[in-house]
Amino acid sequence: MKRMSCRICGYKQELFRQHKVITDELARIWQLKPRERAGFDRRESSECEKCGCSLRSRAIAEAIIMSYPDSQSKLFTDWVEWAGKKGLTIAEINYCGQLHEYLAQNPKTVTSQYRERTIRARIANRLKGIKSEDITKLSYPSKSFDLVLHSEVLEHVEDTAKALAECRRILKPGLLGIWGRLAQEISVKSGLGRPG
């Protein structure tokens, strides 16, 4: 059997662990067909044995690495180190899964959380210095980030066009916004061109 490498940490393994992520009750409420549920479970699990990153996190990392060919990075851990040396400013709007701990290693990564579900979560985030942001009315200055990331946010926003316009507003001209959506895809959108 072919061994696969994790794009986050480089660990080689034959299979990535998969398991059910959502309950039967939630699948019923969401009215997921068996194939949709299997896809959701695969995307949100399929974890690396070493770093624990899911398929979704690895797909976002892959999109980032491929969007910055100058970094010559093969692994996300290398890319984060490169981004720190380059002084890239990164807006992580809502935790991007397991990538958060890696992104946080860059001193110029700013993390915000969109609509914490509980008061406990809001307080915990404030204690960590993470503020709550409305993605349709971001408090960041215009043209202030080299990379804007968010994952699993747009499906919770009433006005997605406004949210995306805000992401574009805080992005430096010509640079990238990357986001994951519930539709099981990773989108890479360029402001006015590619980084270089």
Indicate the range of 40-49, 66-75, 141-150 predicted with least confidence.
40-49
Q: Is residue 102 part of a domain?
A: yes
CATH code (residue 118): 3.40.50.150
d(CA 183, CA 106) in angstroms, rounded, equals 29
Indicate the SS3 state at residue 106. coil
Distance spanning both ends of the chain, measured CA to CA: 38
d(CA 154, CA 151) in angstroms, rounded, equals 8
Of 55, 67, 37, which is closest to residue 148 (Cα–Cα)? 67
Mean pLDDT of the chain: 77
Q: Is residue 29 part of a domain?
A: no
Domain count of the chain? 1
* pLDDT at position 75: 92
User: For 70-91, how does the pLDDT look when each residue is reduced to its tens digit (9 = 90+)?
Assistant: 889 899 999 999 999 999 999 9
**Could you list the residue range(s) of the whole structural domain that residue 77 is in?**
68-190
What one-letter code names the amino acid at 177?
Answer: G
User: For 153-176, how does the pLDDT look when each residue is reduced to its tens digit (9 = 90+)?
Assistant: 777 778 888 988 998 899 998 776
User: For 102-138, how does the pLDDT look when each residue is reduced to its tens digit (9 = 90+)?
Assistant: 998 999 998 887 765 556 666 666 666 667 788 889 9
* pLDDT at position 77: 94
Contact 169, 142 (CB under 8 A): yes
Q: Highest-confidence range of 11-15, 42-46, 119-123, 139-143, by mean pLDDT? A: 139-143
Specify the DSSP class assigned to residue 97: T
- The H or E element that residue 191 is part of is none
Q: Is the dihedral of CA 125, 184, 57, 92 positive or negative?
A: negative
Q: Is residue 82 part of a domain?
A: yes
DSSP string, 96-108: -TTHHHHHTTSTT
Q: Is residue 143 part of a domain?
A: yes
Specify the DSSP class assigned to residue 28: H
d(CA 22, CA 44) in angstroms, rounded, equals 9
- Here the tokens at position 116 are 């914490």
Q: Is residue 105 part of a domain?
A: yes
Q: Is residue 117 part of a domain?
A: yes
Q: Is residue 1 part of a domain?
A: no
How many other C-beta atoms are found inside a 10 Å radius of the C-beta of residue 63? Answer: 17
Q: Is residue 7 part of a domain?
A: no
